[in-house]
Amino acid sequence: MSTLAERGMAAGWNIQLVMVDGVVEAEDFADKLETMKSRPLREDDIFLATYPKSGTHWAWEILNMIVAGKAEYAKHWQNSALLELRTEEELEKLTSPRIFHTHLLPRQMPELLWQLGCKVVYVERNAKDCAVSSFCQVSQQVWEGGSPQQSTFTGSWDDFLSVYQDGCAPFGSIFDHVNEWKNVSDVYDGFEVCSVKYEDMKQDCATEIKRMAEYLDRHLPEEKYQQIAEACSFKNLKHASEKIKDQTFHVAWQEGSSGYFRKGQAGDWKNWFTVAQSEEFDRKYELKCRESAIKDPLC
């Protein structure tokens, strides 16, 4: 019987996928995951946890501005602080407070996170929108370890969705990811995570920024929240990421690609899913709901 990783590659993933503790991961990350739980941390480290395409760049920039106390963009791309991509030595060079981002599950994180009580912000997005955004990215992005000049995923939308909803993708199942992070306080003795919804950020970003700032114990003047929200609007952040920020940690894209910033919308999944695909996705999601404590509606 094929593993989830093998199913993913057969469907069109153009990178080597492996199973690590029951989760599909890119082989490039496997060696770092072996030592992840013993990684040293600092008490003032801040973590942004997301499933891929849940607003990671957006939220990471916001957190940097909250900590800086002003609406100025961080010099580097967020990939400079991707926990599972960078080496321990690279991350050690970052100045405190370090703002990491990660797509890992709670059980894959450094043990010191729970012992030190570091701050964690978790951003969740509609799972169907994540699926569409993920497909659009990986079908245009060129993975460093993949075949030259080929996109990270070479299959069709139908191919992608069929394996994505079963967790045959890097970082595993989006359903499991949301479930495990939602239940962190039950597993890690009341550990407090600041949970944020992508859709709430779209509706009233300044309010969500204030909520994150209060969680981080970094209260700002009211006008700062609006200034940060404006600086991190889709249009402004896309411009900054392409024209202002240092490109050292940028990744390669196929010519004509929209890059990381495609639409930044909520509800675009309705333009992609057929009725049958939507119903099957809902069925699998609802099954996970019954198996876990997820209480939030999918749509």
What residues act catalytically?
Answer: 103
Query: For residues 151 and 12, what is the distance between their CA atoms, to the nearest angstrom?
Result: 10
List phi, psi (to 5°) of 203: -80, -40
CA gap 127, 280 in Å, rounded: 13
DSSP 102-118: E---GGGS-HHHHHHT-
Bridge-based pairing of strands 23-26 and 141-142 is unpaired
DSSP letters of 51-85?
-TTSSHHHHHHHHHHHHHTSS---SS-GGGGBTTT
CB of 13 closer than 8 Å to CB of 164? no
């069709």: which residue's tokens? Answer: 156
Handedness of CA 288, 56, 220, 266 (dihedral sign): negative
